[in-house]
Amino acid sequence: MINLFSLKQKQKEAADGTGGRVPVKKQSAGELRVQKDISELNLSKTTFISFPNGKDDLLNFEITIRPDEGYYMGGTFVFSFKISPIYPHEAPKVKCKTKVYHPNIDLEGNVCLNILREDWKPVLSINSIIYGLQYLFLDPNPDDPLNQEAADVLKDHPKQFESNVKRSMAVKNIRKFATY
């Protein structure tokens, strides 16, 4: 254990010996871990990452997904990632910035993906979330809907769903589909 008085003495000596210290810039636990996650990212050819605040802010970034198959082929969907200082204790906050007609994404950009909320575990990584998002476009899940209308159409009239998706990606105006 430490004797504070001898400790204090040493501290004084140390302070006398050196002059102005260079302030250390603190990294949060989240930053340390996300550095690791990002350096190990394995992005497929349909996925892109960008850092709006430059190379030294890894806590905020955007993932762009351009599906090359499935209902959403040809679309471009941007997700914002916000990493908490206590990541990976807490899952990243992910929002879809592109309005999309999708059973698991609502019009405010909320995404229903289990690993973003109830099933998040610290062993998961940014990579796992990106896989999850890609999968949402390949295989939208009508059983866990966030946009019920879209889910119903997908379940009962897949053809209709397909054309709704196409139209929505063309007209960029999803809101009216909400009233289906």
- Which residues, numbered 34-93, are part of the site for another protein (CB under 8 A)? 35-36, 38-43, 48-51, 54-56, 58, 84-86, 89-90
Interface with another protein, residue 123, by CB under 8 A: no
Residue type, 95: K
Residue 64 vs residues 23, 92, 137, 164: alpha-carbon distances, Å: 37, 16, 12, 22
Question: Rounded to the nearest whole angstrom, what is the least distance from the CB of residue 78 to another protein in the complex?
Answer: 15
What is the full DSSP assignment across 95-159? EE-S---BTTB-TT--B--GGGTTT--TT--HHHHHHHHHHHHHS--TTS-SSHHHHHHHHH-HH
Residue with tokens 């679309």: 75
Active-site residue (options: 38, 49, 73, 112) = 112
Q: Which of 16, 21, 45, 172 binds another protein (CB under 8 A)?
A: 21
Q: Which of 31, 70, 98, 131 binds another protein (CB under 8 A)?
A: 31
Residue 141 and residue 103 in contact, taking contact as beta carbons nearer than 8 Å: yes
In the complex with another protein, the residue whose CB is nearer, 14 or 171, is 14
What are phi and psi for residue 115, nearest 5 degrees? -75, -10
Q: Is 96 marked active-site?
A: no
Residue 48 and residue 63 in contact, taking contact as beta carbons nearer than 8 Å: yes
In the complex with another protein, the residue whose CB is nearer, 29 or 171, is 29
What 3-state DSSP class applies to 93? strand
Interface with another protein, residue 171, by CB under 8 A: no
Question: Rounded to the nearest whole angstrom, what is the least distance from the CB of residue 129 to another protein in the complex?
Answer: 14
Catalytic residue numbers read 112
- Interface contacts to another protein, rule CB under 8 A: 1-8, 10-11, 13-14, 17-18, 21-29, 31-33, 35-36, 38-43, 48-51, 54-56, 58, 84-86, 89-90, 104, 106-108, 110-112, 114, 117-118, 120, 122, 142-146, 148
